[in-house]
Amino acid sequence: MSKLLLIDGYSLLYRAFFSSPPFATSAGEPTGALYGFVRMVTRLLDENAPDYVVVALDPPGGTFRHEADATYKAQRADTPDDLKIQQRLVRELLDGLSIPRYEHTGFEADDVIGTLAKHGENDGHDVLIITGDGDQLQLATEKVQVLLTRKGVSELEPYKPAEVIARYGFEPKYVPDFKGLKGDASDNIPGVPGIGDKTASALLAKFVSLDGIYEHLDEVTPPRIQGLLRQYQEQSFHSRTMATIVCDLPVEAEPEDFKYDPFDPEKRRKAADTARRFEFKSLVARYEAPIAGAKAAPAPAKELEFTLEDTDSAQQVAQWVKKQKNAPIAVALYEDGWMLARDGDVLRFEGDAAHLKSFLEDEKSPKIVHDEKALMRALAHVPTASVTTPSLFDEPETTEGGQGIDVKGVIADIMLMAYLLEPTRQSPAIDFVAQKFLNYTLPALPEAPKKRGKTASLFDEGPNEDEIAQKRKHQAASVAVLSELEPILRHELEEINATSLLDELELPLVPVLASIERVGMQLDPGKLRELDKKLQADIAQSQKEVWELAGREFSIGSTKQLQEVLYTELKLDPGRKNKSGGFTTDVFTLEKLADDGHEIARKILDWRQSSKLKSTYVDALLKLMDPQTHRIHSTLNQTGAVSGRLSSTDPNLQNVPIRTEQGRLIRKAFVAPEGRVVLSADYSQIELRILAHITSDAPLVDAFQNGEDVHARTASALFNVKVEDVDREMRRKAKMTNYAIAYGVSGFGLAKQLGSGSNAGEAHEFIKTYFKTLPGVEKYIADTLEEGRKRGYVETLLGRRRPVPDLNANAFQIRSAAERTAINHPIQGTSADVMKIAMIAIARELRERKLQSSLTMQVHDELVFEVPTEEIEEVTALVKDIMARVPVERLKLKVPLLAEVGTGPNWEDTKAGKE
């Protein structure tokens, strides 16, 4: 899915002006705000890796809002002279860095963002909006996420409709109505004098909209508010109009104008020159440095030449395939047909998939694809009714009726290859890969139509014949370029010794993941609905108790109202403030207040937990569950995490809570069908075992080899007691310390994890003692950081690289975060590789033994299966043996691995991995 990043330019520039040192060039030009601004923008680009980006700017002069109301923003102080200069220079800076910008005469940046967000959403793009302006919350939808800046861009507060509703009590589209009531002092929008946030939210919660309020004005209480609404009715509607973002501006630009390409050599040279012009030395280094984990850009590629032939004849397809003489064929499935390519010859076929079944399932016919799992998912349920098709060999063959095609013979998946080379780029799209490794730009998709429906669509693909032909050309180039990319990417992988990761791990894993997605997990909707009722009751009860303790009703989901109740009215003291000087309402703060005896904080935490469980899990599972089979089919993302770990979406089953009663009830809703059980196999302390192997620290290695309690042994050293004298609390603190070291956590961070009664001093002493006991771990950390700074990356035992360029950053927080990543990646990434090795081996063994058991989910260090009752004993032994033996043999580990296996009628009752 392509991503469109929209940045509110002046919002970030203004924030940078007041938070950055007053730098200036040697010629005296002020550049402090520009430097802070460009640091924020480049960080956003690095972290989000967008396909399209636009920095929206306010145009010089006034806008239609100023014409409609002369008082609009009239109260604002004059812009500082240094900031005015930098507002002019920011255009030169963005152009020099090849970061697309856009502005529209007579309209604000908000209107540009609203319009482009609507275009992106209409065409299926994921849209991210970065701004400090809460007005833009009205743009939030399921496809458009608004991220409000809190501390530069290092702390962003994400909003989709659910978050807006949770905070304000109404849908995003009613944000202008909210401003119509309460006004907006920052923009000098008056609203209705005397109505504030609380009253405005309550009115909208009851009457939905401003129109609804005035349609039922006689029902508004108290009389004072009704009187104010009558008195300022015209002003209220005018204020709403002023706060409404325009989303249908005519856009005088093409999609390619907003493409973001950080790898183009010419653009990087231009960016380096621009950085020199502004005397941003660190930025010069950024653009002159080679891209971490990749070779220098190749010489400009020749224009890719290809021929496109259409056919609806299965006979012609068979002849074409046979003519290739078992050479690798690039394969792609589009919504309107198949395309096969080899050496610039592209064949497009509109026939049924059943006619290609023998070719697609033939392991001896090598294939190159982009995203094999997506292809397998698309073919999992296609009908293959009995048809007679030309054989790819000699005699015609009949395909028996049924469903699904099992793709085999894939020797290269371009997306996986690019991911191994560019792991920070999630699910690399083919246009990115072609540009990055071939300097080849795919033919453009059709231009946006000038008018379609109520608004023109910037990225829409039109239906007319010319547009269809252009689309075909783009598709043909996309499949033809796969054959060109395969040898180049394979050579790149060979250069970094990563071909085995592709051939022996990632490619064999694809059909395993496809099978998991296809099989899914069985749900008991009755249990979920029971839990939903219970959570609703828990939420209501928690809300009632919070209100009673507060002495009044308020919106618990509103941070502002919560702060008002806790810190202004109840005068609680959490003991710490955020950077802006206010008190926070985060989990850490509320838990501290609860530990200090403030019952209201505990009840708020209960309310939050129940609300999250209901919305994130129960509601989502019921919505996404297949209504006929009651199975849930989550998507496992193979290229979604830099570490190499798998991630899960739609729904995310990897975050189902396990340590709370309510969370355990959710796991109980994952059940086995009649005649089967759920089997769970969980690696025990896998990351600590990997740490022991990597460091070769004798006490750690010995503890695992001898089957000792490693946490008790650590506690013995930390507290200077015999192992047999270690109590439960000592072991708890030792366990946290063990994992904190593996994750590169600081003394301060460990103190927070240890909880009440612990401080940074104690935690630092723990770490100091730990390193004395395990000097090999301390040496591993030092060596890893040193190598990471020299090479720009760290890697797992199998050579999975992760770029860590920020190890050399000047800013402490950025550098510290990079250090934690560098320390943890070889451990966590190797653990991920261990799990993949085990999954492949188990799937192969189940298949070869012709067992009916199915792997249904992978969750962190755990595998979940559905097993017929008659296979329980065999599958339990098989899984335990493979998980413990195969990765050890493959990686030659110095320590044993242990898998804890349990079975039960549901996921929770398997009781595996409860350490």
Q: What is the CATH number of domain 525-624?
A: 1.20.1060.10
In percent, how much of the chain has pLDDT > 70? 92
Query: Cα separation of 32 and 403, whole Å?
Result: 63
Using CA atoms, how far residue 504 sits from 500, 516, 837, in Å, is 5, 19, 9
Query: Cα separation of 400 and 392, whole Å?
Result: 17
Mean pLDDT of 409-422: 95
What CATH architecture is 3-168+245-258? 3-Layer(aba) Sandwich (3.40)
Burial of 126 (0-12, 13-18, 19+ CB in 10 A): middle
Which two three-digit tokens encode residue 740?
Answer: 């904190």
Pick the range with the lowest mean pLDDT from 263-267, 407-411, 774-778.
263-267
Identify the residue whose tokens are 């349920």: 381
Binning pLDDT at 50, 70 and 90, where does residue 296 land? very low
Query: Cα separation of 122 and 116, whole Å?
Result: 10
Query: Cα separation of 874 and 903, whole Å?
Result: 13
Pick the range with the lowest mean pLDDT from 171-185, 323-337, 789-803.
323-337
Pick the closest to residue 31 from 277, 258, 207 (CA basis): 277
Query: Cα separation of 870 and 256, whole Å?
Result: 59
Say what the pLDDT of residue 403 is. Answer: 64
- What size, in residues, is the chain? 915
Pick the closest to residue 369 from 397, 343, 333, 327 (CA basis): 333
Say what the pLDDT of residue 396 is. Answer: 43
| Sequence-ordered strand ranges (E) for 193-277 | none
Under 8 Å between Cβ of 166 and 557: yes
Pick the closest to residue 456 from 233, 254, 742 (CA basis): 254
Please say if the pLDDT value at position 413 is more than 90: yes
Q: Which amino acid is at 291?
A: I
Say what the pLDDT of residue 913 is. Answer: 40
Binning pLDDT at 50, 70 and 90, where does residue 802 land? very high
Locate all alpha helices (DSSP H) within 496-580, ordered by sequence.
Answer: 499-500, 507-519, 525-550, 559-563
Say what the pLDDT of residue 586 is. Answer: 83
Up-side HSE of residue 715: CA atoms within 13 Å toward CB? 20
Query: Cα separation of 712 and 717, whole Å?
Result: 9
pLDDT tens digit sequence for 113-129: 999 999 888 877 899 99
Please say if the pLDDT value at position 387 is more than 60: no
Say what the pLDDT of residue 578 is. Answer: 54
Please say if the pLDDT value at position 392 is more than 60: no
Phi-psi label, residue 892: left if phi above 0, alpha if psi -120 to 50, beta otherwise: left
Say what the pLDDT of residue 289 is. Answer: 62
Say what the pLDDT of residue 853 is. Answer: 97
Binning pLDDT at 50, 70 and 90, where does residue 36 land? confident
Under 8 Å between Cβ of 482 and 330: yes
Up-side HSE of residue 334: CA atoms within 13 Å toward CB? 19
Up-side HSE of residue 17: CA atoms within 13 Å toward CB? 17
Say what the pLDDT of residue 864 is. Answer: 97
First-to-last CA distance in the chain? Answer: 38
Mean pLDDT of 206-224: 92
Which two three-digit tokens encode residue 802?
Answer: 């992760």
Query: Cα separation of 609 and 607, whole Å?
Result: 6
pLDDT tens digit sequence for 722-771: 989 989 988 988 888 888 887 777 777 777 777 656 666 777 888 888 88
Give 411-447 as a DSSP string: EEEHHHHHHHH-TTSSS--HHHHHHHHH--PPPPPPP
Say what the pLDDT of residue 870 is. Answer: 98
The mean pLDDT of the chain is: 87
Please say if the pLDDT value at position 818 is more than 60: yes
- Give start-end residues of each CATH 1.20.1060.10 domain in the chain: 525-624
Mean pLDDT of 780-797: 93
Please say if the pLDDT value at position 475 is more than 60: yes
Using CA atoms, how far residue 532 sits from 521, 546, 611, 612, in Å, is 19, 21, 10, 12
Domain 697-823 annotated CATH 1.10.150.20: yes
Q: CA torsion, points 166, 171, 176, 178, in degrees to nearest 10?
A: -50
Which residues, other chains included, contact 530 with Cβ-Cβ below 8 Å and sequence gap of 6+? none
CA angle 583, 584, 589 (to 5 degrees): 105
Q: Tell me which of 3.30.420.10, 3.30.2020.10, 3.30.360.10, 1.25.60.10 is the CATH number of domain 307-445+461-496.
A: 3.30.420.10
| Sequence-ordered strand ranges (E) for 350-396 | 367-369, 387-389
At residue 662, φ and ψ (nearest 5 deg) are -65, -40
Which two three-digit tokens encode residue 351?
Answer: 């026939």
- Give start-end residues of each CATH 1.10.150.20 domain in the chain: 697-823
pLDDT tens digit sequence for 126-161: 999 999 999 999 999 999 999 998 766 667 888 999
pLDDT tens digit sequence for 549-601: 999 999 898 888 998 999 999 998 876 655 445 678 888 788 888 888 899 99
- Give start-end residues of each CATH 3.40.50.1010 domain in the chain: 3-168+245-258
Please say if the pLDDT value at position 626 is more than 90: yes
Say what the pLDDT of residue 1 is. Answer: 61
Which carries the bigger pLDDT value, residue 303 or residue 339?
Answer: 339
3-state helix/strand/coil string of 809-825: CCCHHHHHHHHHHHHHH
Which carries the bigger pLDDT value, residue 346 or residue 914?
Answer: 346
Mean pLDDT of 365-372: 94
Three-state DSSP at 859 gives: strand
Pick the closest to residue 712 from 736, 735, 739 (CA basis): 735
